[in-house]
């Protein structure tokens, strides 16, 4: 039997906790036997003293085993999951799932809803008329076996420890702790049952991690947790100092995903999806050479196979696949207005966080968990950093259902851009690839 104050004191003084001590804390907290105030003290001790990789892995596994451990053994082949740490105009999952599935990768994706300025994949997909993200386990597995990919909302029984701990971290100023972030992300991935994991860890103004060095360290720790937990994991560190794609908003991101699968998406979004898709193919054992994998994915876009896979996923989950061709079938806002450039020049900076918050306040995201999403509103960008602009031509288009909010949002979006007269270099998107054996920086 352990004594909770002694465990807290040990970590407070910089000691290393055993696996048994960590499991005792997490199990007791989930069962309601250890109160919030003691776990708050533990979280603060971790925040200041940190955890080594063995401790972080034990915390991850204790959290993963606090609820349902999903069994995907009924799905044929190697199951590969992908996780993004969240950002603005991050439409990656909507493009990557059908793209990788079109090449034979099996993806059983459990995803969440958005909260705050980062959008949720489930909310985006629910823009498609009829699309259901509430699948039974048997239905979920059947679709993955027959189609190659399916996406469902996270089970309420999946990692209950994370839900309780995150709520507590949010009110105790202990959210931005790398061990706690790593355990939160990886516990859900491990409990989700995938054999292999690809991570997209973002940094910059529109991401949770602001500094590249912190994102790289988080990526390294999560990859090593995956290894220690027996799940081969690869992480990419990517730039989120500007939006990834051009669409910020739920229905608009469905449109951008469809356009990307038609070969007409923004090069940043498409290149990231190709890179992650190649990695998923290699991890699944479908291809050894990443260049050949890339060629196959590009061919699937060119032939229309990738788009057809997206339509098949939509159809099997109750949605109307015609919405991926006829965008008028998707929710549309009542009002729209262009944000015009005030001078000639080059886009020097886009404040991704300010854009994300603006879209959220228009109704595209939630400020509270029970807020209703307006799938039709958002912001469409007309360029990114390094692109040339002309005075009077649009920098972005704002879509809203309230004229007062529209006028306010136009000013917010305008204030999110900075224009330079001299030519500006385009930002490098992919900054590092991290495996258990190597860190490759670009």
pLDDT at position 422 is 95
Domains of the chain, each with CATH number or no CATH:
4-50 (1.20.970.10), 80-160+190-325+431-441 (3.40.1030.10), 331-420 (3.90.1170.30)
CA distance readout (Å), 364 to 37, 70, 119, 125, 335: 35, 31, 8, 13, 14
Name the packing angle between helices 160-171 and 19-30 (round to 10°).
90
In this predicted structure, what is the pLDDT of residue 89? 82
Catalytic member of 111, 177, 184, 376: 184
pLDDT tens profile 286-321: 999 999 999 999 999 999 999 999 999 999 999 999
**Would you call 163 exposed, middle or buried from its count of C-beta atoms within 10 A (0-12, 13-18, 19+)?**
middle
Strand ranges in 359-427 using DSSP code E only, listed in sequence order: 378-381, 388-389, 394-400, 417-420
Distance from C-alpha of 212 to C-alpha of 439, rounded to nearest angstrom: 13
pTM for the whole structure: 0.91
Helix/strand/coil (H/E/C) assignment for every residue in 176-222: CCHHHHHHHHHHHHHHCCCCEEEEEEEECCCCCECCHHHHHHHHHHH
Distance CA 296, CA 102 (A): 9
Please state whether 32 falls in left (phi above 0), alpha (psi between -120 and 50) or beta.
Answer: left
Pairing relation of β-strands 394-400 and 378-381? Answer: antiparallel
> Mutual orientation of helices 36-49 and 19-30 as an angle, nearest 10°?
140
Examine the residue annotation and report whether 344 is marked as an active-site residue of this protein: no
Catalytic status, residue 407: no
Q: Which of 82, 117, 188, 231 is catalytic?
A: 188
Structure tokens of 220?
């390294």
Beta-sheet pairing, 232-239 with 196-203: parallel
Kindly name the residue from 169, 311, 399, 405 that is annotated as catalytic: 169
Q: Is 162 a catalytic residue?
A: yes
Active site annotation includes 81: no
Among 380, 306, 375, residue whose Cα is nearest residue 122: 375
Q: Please tell me which residue in 123, 162, 241, 374 is annotated as part of the active site.
A: 162
Q: What's the farthest any 2 CA atoms get from each other in the chain? A: 71
Helix/strand/coil (H, E, C) string of 100-113? HHCCCCEEEEEECC
CA–CA separation, 430 and 387 (whole Å): 19
Q: What pLDDT, on the 0 to 100 scale, is given for residue 157?
A: 84
- Does the annotation mark 169 as catalytic? yes
- Provide the residue-wise pLDDT of the chain in tens; the chain has 442 residues: 799 999 999 999 999 999 999 999 999 999 999 999 999 999 999 999 999 999 999 999 999 999 989 999 999 999 999 998 877 888 999 999 999 999 999 999 988 665 555 567 888 999 999 999 899 989 999 999 999 999 998 777 889 999 899 889 978 989 889 999 999 999 999 999 999 999 999 999 888 789 999 999 999 999 999 998 899 999 999 999 999 999 999 999 999 999 999 999 899 999 999 999 999 999 999 999 999 999 999 999 999 999 999 999 999 999 999 999 999 999 999 999 999 999 999 999 999 999 999 999 999 887 766 678 899 999 999 999 999 999 999 999 999 999 999 999 999 999 999 999 999 999 999 999 999 999 999 9
């Amino acid at each position: 039997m352990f004594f909770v104050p002694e465990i807290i004191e040990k970590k407070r003084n910089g000691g290393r906790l055993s696996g048994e001590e960590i499991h005792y804390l997490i199990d007791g907290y989930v069962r309601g036997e250890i109160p919030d105030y003691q776990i708050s003290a533990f979280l603060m001790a971790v925040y200041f003293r940190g955890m080594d990789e063995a401790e972080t892995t034990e915390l991850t596994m204790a959290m993963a085993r606090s609820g349902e451990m999903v069994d995907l053994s009924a799905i044929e082949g190697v199951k590969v999951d992908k996780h993004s740490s969240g950002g603005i105009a991050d439409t990656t999952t909507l493009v990557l799932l059908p793209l990788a599935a079109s090449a034979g990768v099996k993806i059983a994706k459990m995803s969440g809803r958005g909260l705050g300025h980062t959008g949720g994949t489930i909310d985006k997909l629910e823009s498609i008329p009829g699309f259901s993200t509430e699948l039974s386990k048997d239905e979920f597995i059947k679709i993955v076996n027959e189609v190659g990919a399916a996406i469902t909302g996270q089970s309420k029984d999946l990692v209950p420890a994370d839900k309780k701990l995150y709520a507590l971290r949010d009110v105790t100023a202990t959210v931005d702790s790398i061990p706690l972030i790593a355990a939160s992300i990886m516990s859900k991935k491990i409990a989700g049952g995938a054999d292999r994991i690809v991570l997209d860890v973002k940094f910059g103004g529109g991401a949770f991690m602001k500094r590249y060095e912190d994102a790289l360290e988080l990526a390294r720790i999560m990859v090593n947790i995956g290894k220690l937990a027996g799940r081969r994991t690869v992480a990419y560190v990517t730039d989120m100092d500007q939006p990834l794609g051009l669409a910020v908003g739920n229905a608009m991101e469905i449109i951008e995903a469809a356009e990307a699968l038609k070969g007409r998406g923004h090069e940043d979004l498409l290149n990231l999806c190709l890179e992650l898709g190649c990695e998923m193919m290699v991890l699944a054992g479908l291809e050894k050479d990443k260049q050949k994998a890339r060629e196959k994915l590009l061919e699937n876009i060119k032939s229309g196979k990738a788009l057809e896979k997206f339509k098949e996923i939509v159809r099997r989950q109750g949605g109307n696949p015609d919405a991926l061709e006829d965008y008028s079938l998707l929710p549309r806002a009542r009002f729209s207005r262009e944000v015009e450039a005030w001078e000639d020049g080059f886009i020097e900076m886009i404040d991704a966080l300010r854009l994300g918050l603006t879209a959220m306040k228009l109704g595209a995201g939630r400020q509270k968990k029970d807020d209703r999403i307006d799938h039709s509103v958002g912001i469409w960008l007309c360029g990114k950093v390094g692109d040339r602009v002309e005075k009077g031509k649009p920098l972005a288009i704002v879509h809203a259902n309230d004229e007062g909010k529209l006028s306010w949002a136009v000013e917010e979006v305008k204030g999110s851009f900075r224009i330079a007269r001299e030519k500006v270099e385009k930002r490098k998107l992919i900054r590092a690839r991290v495996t258990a054996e190597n860190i490759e920086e670009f």
